[in-house]
Structure 1
Amino acid sequence: MTAPTTTNPAAPDPDPGEVPGPRSTVLLRRRSRLSAALLFTPGQLALATTVAVVACLLLGVTGFLAGNGQSAALHDAQRDAAQLVGTQELRNDLVSADATATNAFLVGGLEPTEARERYEASLSEAAQAVPSLAATARGAGEAADLATVSDSVQRYAGLVESARANNRQGFPVGAAYLDQASAALRDEVLPTIDEVAVSTSQRVDADMGSVSLAQALLLFVLLALVALGAVQLWLARRTHRVLNTGLAAASVALLVGGVVTVAAVLGGNGVARSVASGPYAATVATSEALSLATDAKSMESFTLIKRGSGADFEESYQTSVAAARVLLDEAEDAMSGNDVGARVPGPAEPLAEWDAKHAEIRELDDGGRWDDAVEAATATGDGSAGAAFAAFSDRAHEDVEATSKEAVDRLGSAATTTQAAAWIALVLGVAGAVAAAAGMNVRLKEYR
C-alpha cells in the first residue's frame, strides 16, 4: 500500500518561474493590457489626449501661480516702500522741528512767530505720522518701537518748552534744557526710527527678490507649449491630417496665455529692477540727504549757542553736509534720463548755496562778531542763509514726493498687470484643455 504524501516544511521556496499569486497576476494582466493598448492607435490617442490636457492645465496653473505670486510680491514692495518713505519723513519732521527750535533759540527772548509755527507744524506732522506708521507696520516689534517714539517725542517737546520758557526770560538754564531735548531726540528717538527704517528697507529688498523668483515658473509654461506642440505633430503624422480644430484652438489658447504670462512676469521683474535702481533709490537717497542736512542746520545753531566751545558741532556739521552731497549725487545718477528728475532742478545747488552762507557765518563768529553771525544765521530774507536752506528743503521734499509717487505707482501698475495675466493664463489653460480633449475625442470616435 502506498504511503500518503506529506508536506515537507523545510522544502525550498517555489521556483521563480512558477505561476505567481492572485495579486501579482492582476498587476501583470493590467500591465499587459496597457502595453497592448499602446501598441494600437486608439490607446496612443488616449495617451496623447491625456498629455495635451495635462499640458494645457500645466500652463494655466503655473501661469496663474507665476503671475499671482509676482503680483503679491510687487504689492508687498509697494507697501513696504511707502512705509519706508513714511518712516524717513517722520525722521525728517523731527529733525526739522529740532533745527527750527535751535535756530529760534538764538534770537533770544520771544522767538519769531514764523519759526514757532514751523516748529509746531513739523512736530504735529510727526505726532500724526507715528500712529499711522505703527498701524501699517509689519511685525509687532516695529509697532512697539514706534510706540516708544511717540512717548519720547512728547518728552522732547516738554524739554523744548522748558528751554523756550527760560530763554524768553533770559535764563541761561534754557540752553541746558535745549541740550537735553536735542540729546533725547538723537539718543532715544532717531536711533529707534533708524532701526525701523533699516528693517523696512530689508523687507523691500526681499520683496524685490521675490518678484524675480516668479520667473522660474516660466520653464513649466515653456514645457507645456512644447508638449502640446509634440502632440499636434504626432497626430498630424499618425492621421495624415494637418489640422485638428480642437488642438488648433488649444494651441492658440496656450500660445496667447504663454505670451501674456511671459510678457507680464518678465515685464514685472523689469519694472521692479528699474524702480529699485531708479525712483526708489533716488527717494531713499534724497530723503536721507534732507535728514542729514537738516541735522547739520541744528549743528550750525548749536555751534553759535556754545559761543566758542562748539567745535564738535561744527565737525558734525561738515560730516553731515559732505554725506548729504554724496547722497544727492547718487539720487541724481539714479534719476538720470528720467522725466520726474528732469522736471525741476535738484536740491544739490541750493544745498551748496546754503553751505556757502554757513561759511560766511563761521567767518563772522570766528572773527569775534558773534552777534553778526547770529543775525546771519537767523535771517530769512532773500539771499540769507535761512532762505537758502528753505530752498534746499523745499526742493528736496518735492523730489522725494515725486520720486516716491513714481515708484509706488509703477509697482502698483505692474502688480495689476501680472494679476490680470495670471487669470488670463488660468482661463486660457482650462479652455485649452477642454478644446484639446474635444479635438482628440473626434479622432478617438473614428476607431470605435
Structure 2
Amino acid sequence: MTAPPTTTSPPQADPGTPAGAPDEGPARRSVRDRLAAELATTPGRLALATAVAVVACLLLAITGFLAGNSQSAALRDAQRDAAQLVGTQELRNDLVSADATATNSFLVGGLEPAEAREAYEASVSEAAQSLPALAATAQGAAETDDLATVSDSVQRYAGLVESARANNRQGFPVGAAYLDQASSALRDEVLPTLDDVAVSTSQRVDSDLTSVSLSQALLLFVLLGLVALAAVQLWLARRTHRRLNMGLAAATVALLVGGIVATAAVLGGNGVARSVASGPYAATVATSQALSLATDAKSMESFTLIKRGSGAEFEDSYQTSVTQARDLLNEADDAAGTRNDPLSLLDAWDEKHAEIRALDDDGQWDDAVAAATSTADDSAGAAFTAFSDAAHADVQTTSTQAVDRLASAATTAQIAAWVALVLGVAGAVAAAAGMNVRLKEYR
C-alpha cells in the first residue's frame, strides 16, 4: 500500500515582522533586544548618561581646540599677508621715489647734486634688497614669477637711467629720450606688475579675515556640549534624588571655564580682525598708496618742466595723482580716527607746486626750474620731503599696530584652544568618575 505524500508546511513569518519587510535575522534581533532590555534598567540608563556626559566634554575639547586653533592660523595668515602687502607697497614707493629723484635731478643739467644722487641710489638699493624677501614669502608661482619679472625690469630701468645721466652730463639731448624710456618702462612694466601682486595679496588678506569669522560657527558645538551635560545632570538629579554629583559638578565647571575661554578668545579675535581691517590696516594701505601717487606726481612736475611748454599731459597727470592722494589720506584719517600730518603737508607742497607752475606759465622757465630743484627750507623739495617723511612714519606706525594686534589675537586664540582641550578632557574624566560612583550602587 502506497503511503500518502508528505506535505511540508511553509515557514511561518515572525509575527513581529511586518508583511513584506526583510527579516533582520536572529543575531541582530538578539542584540537589539538585549540593548532595549539593558536600557530599560537603571544601570543601563546610567551607562548611557555617562557616555553622553563624556561625549559632551570631549565635544567641547575638540571643537574648542579647533575653533581657537583655526582662528589663530587665520590671524597669523592675515598678519603675514598684511605685512606682505605693506612690503609690496613700500617697494613700489621706493621705485617711484627713485624715479622722482632721477627726474628732478635731470633738470639741473650736467652732474646732478651729490645729495640727489645718494637719495636715488638709496631708493634703488632698498628696492633691490626688499625684492628677495618679498619673493621668499610670496604665495604661489604667479606672484613669484611676477616679482622675478619686476627684478629684471628694475635692473633694466637702472641701466636706462645711467644712460640718461651719462648723456645729460655731456649736454646731449638724447639723455631726455633715455629718461623718458626709463620712466615709461617703470610705469608700463614694473608698477602694473606690482599693482597686480598687491591686489592678489589684498584679496588673500580679505580671505584670511573671513576665515577668522568662520571659526565662530564651531562655538555652537561648544554650547551643545554644555546643554548635553546640563541635561545629564538634571536627569540624574531626578533619578537619584541627589542634587550634587561631585564628578559632574567638576566637569560642569571645567566645561564652563573652557567654553567661556574659547568663546571669549574666538569672539575677541573676530573683533580684533574687524577693527584692524577697518582701522590701522586700512590706514596703512591708504597712506602708502597716497605716498606712491604723490611721489609719482613729483615726477610729473619735473617732466612738465623738462618738456618746456609741451608738458600739459604731465600736469594733468600731476593734478589727478594729487587729488587721488588727498582722497586716500582722508580715508586714512577716517580709519585711524585722527587727523594726520601728511594731509596738511601734501597741501603745503601742492601750494609750492602752484608757484612753480605760475613761474613756468609766465615764461620764467629758469626760475621755475630753480624753484623745483631748490633744497632750501622753504622750497618745494623741502615741502615734499616733509610730506614723504610724515607719510612713511604713519605707514610704519599703523602697520606695526596692525601686525602687533593680529599677532596678539592669534596668540590668545592659540592659548584658548589648548585651555579648551585640556579642560574638556579633564571634564570627561571627572564626568566618567562621577557617574561611575552611581553605577557602583547597582553592582
**Band the TM-score falls in, shorter-chain normalisation:** over 0.9
Q: Residue 220 of structure 1 aligns to which amino acid in structure 2?
A: F
Q: How far apart, CA to CA, are the structure 2 residues paired with 1:17 and 1:279?
A: 75
Q: Work out the CA distance in 1 between the residues paired with 2:165 and 2:10.
A: 106
3-state DSSP class of the match of 1:75?
helix
Contact 1:74 1:208 in 2 (8 A): yes
Q: 1:31 offset after TM fit, Å? A: 1.6
Alignment partners' CA distance in 1, 2:313 and 2:10: 98
Q: 1:73 to 1:447 in 2, by over 3 A?
A: same
CA distance in 2, matches of 1:330, 1:152: 32
Structure 1: tracts of 5 or more residues without a match: none
Q: Residues 287 and 22 from structure 1, CA distance in 2 versus in 1: closer, same or farther, beyond 3 angstroms?
A: closer
Map of 1:285 onto structure 2: 286
Match of 1:424 in 2: 419
Deviation at 1:36, TM superposition (A): 1.9
Deviates further, 377-386 or 282-291: 377-386
Q: What residue in structure 2 maps to residue 375 of structure 1? A: 370
The CA deviation at 1:26 is 2.0
Alignment map for 1:242-261 (pairs within 5 Å): 242-261=243-262
* Paired amino acid for 1:264: A
Once the two structures are superposed, the pairs formed by residues 210-359 of structure 1 within 5 Å of their partners are 210-336=211-337, 345-359=340-354
1:404 aligns with 2:399: yes
Deviations 1:252-311 (A, max 9, x none): 000000000000000000000000000000000000000000000000000000000000
Choose 13-22 or 244-253, whichever is displaced more: 13-22
Distance, in Å, in 2 between the alignment partners of 1:5 and 1:122 is 109
Q: Point out the more displaced range, 356-365 or 235-244.
A: 235-244
Amino acid paired to 2:257:
V
Q: What is the deviation of 1:205?
A: 0.3
Shift of 1:15: 3.9
Offset, 1:35: 1.6
Partner deviation per Cα, 1:324-378 (whole Å, 9 max, x = no partner): 0000000000010xxxx57xx4200110000000000000000000000000001
For residues 405 and 271 of structure 2, the distance between their equivalents in structure 1, rounded to whole angstroms, comes to: 11
1:14: Cα distance to partner? Answer: 4.9
Q: Secondary structure at the match of 1:267?
A: helix
Tell me how far apart the structure 2 counterparts of residues 14 and 285 of structure 1 sit (CA, whole Å): 84
Q: Aligned equivalents of 1:183 and 1:21: distance in 2?
A: 81
How many residue pairs align between the two structures? 439
The aligned counterpart of 1:17 is 15
94-103 vs 376-385, which deviates more? 376-385
Alignment correspondent of 1:388: 383
Q: CA RMSD in A?
A: 1.6
Which whole-Å CA distance do the structure 2 matches of 1:14 and 1:239 have between them? 45
Partner residue in 2 for 1:175 = 176
Matched residue, 1:145: 146
CA-to-aligned-CA distance 1:385-404 (integer Å, 9 cap, x gap) = 00100000000000000000
- 1:22 CA displacement: 9.5
Matched to 2:57, the amino acid is C
1:49 match: 50
Q: SS of 2:309's equivalent?
A: coil
1:222-265 CA deviation, whole Å, 9 max, x = no partner? 00001001111111111111111100110000000000000000
Residue aligning to 2:103: 102
Relative distance call for 1:141 and 1:18 in structure 2 (3 A) is: closer
* Structure-2 change in CA distance of 1:298 and 1:46 (3 Å): same
1:332–1:346 contact (8 Å) kept in structure 2: no
CA distance in 1, matches of 2:33, 2:424: 34
**Counterparts of 1:262 and 1:24, CA distance in 2:** 48
The structural deviation recorded for 1:421 is: 0.4
CA–CA separation in structure 1 for the residues paired with 2:131 and 2:364: 42
Q: Distance in 1 between matches of 2:425 and 2:15?
A: 49
Rounded Cα–Cα distance in structure 1 between residues aligned with 2:23 and 2:336: 76
Amino acid at match of 1:68: N
| Distance in 2 of aligned mates of 1:260 and 1:100 | 54
For residue 2 of structure 1, report the CA deviation from its aligned partner: 2.1
- One-letter identity of the residue aligned with 2:385: A
Per-residue CA deviations over 1:150-169 (Å, capped at 9, x if unaligned) read 11001100100010011111
2:149 maps to a residue whose letter is T
Separation of aligned partners in 1, 2:193 and 2:234: 65
Corresponding residue SS for 1:347: helix
Q: Where does the alignment leave 5 or more consecutive residues of structure 2 unmatched?
A: none
Evaluate the alpha carbon distance shift between residue 107 and residue 13 of structure 1 in structure 2; reply closer, same or farther with a 3 A threshold. Answer: farther
Using the size of structure 1 for normalisation, the TM-score is 0.96
> Matched residues in 1 for 2:12 and 2:142: separation?
70
Residues 1:76 and 2:74 are matched in the alignment = no
Residues of 1 paired with 2:155 and 2:27: CA distance?
82
Q: Name the SS for the 1:243 alignment partner.
A: coil
Q: For the Cα contact (< 8 Å) 1:278–1:334, is it kept in 2?
A: yes
Q: Distance in 2 between matches of 1:22 and 1:195?
A: 66
1:111 matched to 2:112: yes
Separation in structure 1 between the aligned mates of residue 288 and residue 13 of structure 2, nearest angstrom: 84
Normalization by structure 2: what TM-score?
A: 0.97
**Residue type at the aligned position of 2:15:** G
What letter corresponds to residue 359 of structure 1 in structure 2?
A: A
- 2:341 counterpart SS class: coil
Cα distance between partner residues in 2 of 1:395 and 1:21: 82
Letter in 2 for 1:63: G
The structural deviation recorded for 1:24 is 1.5
User: Which residue in 2 is equivalent to 1:26?
Assistant: 27
What's the secondary structure of 2:25's corresponding residue? helix
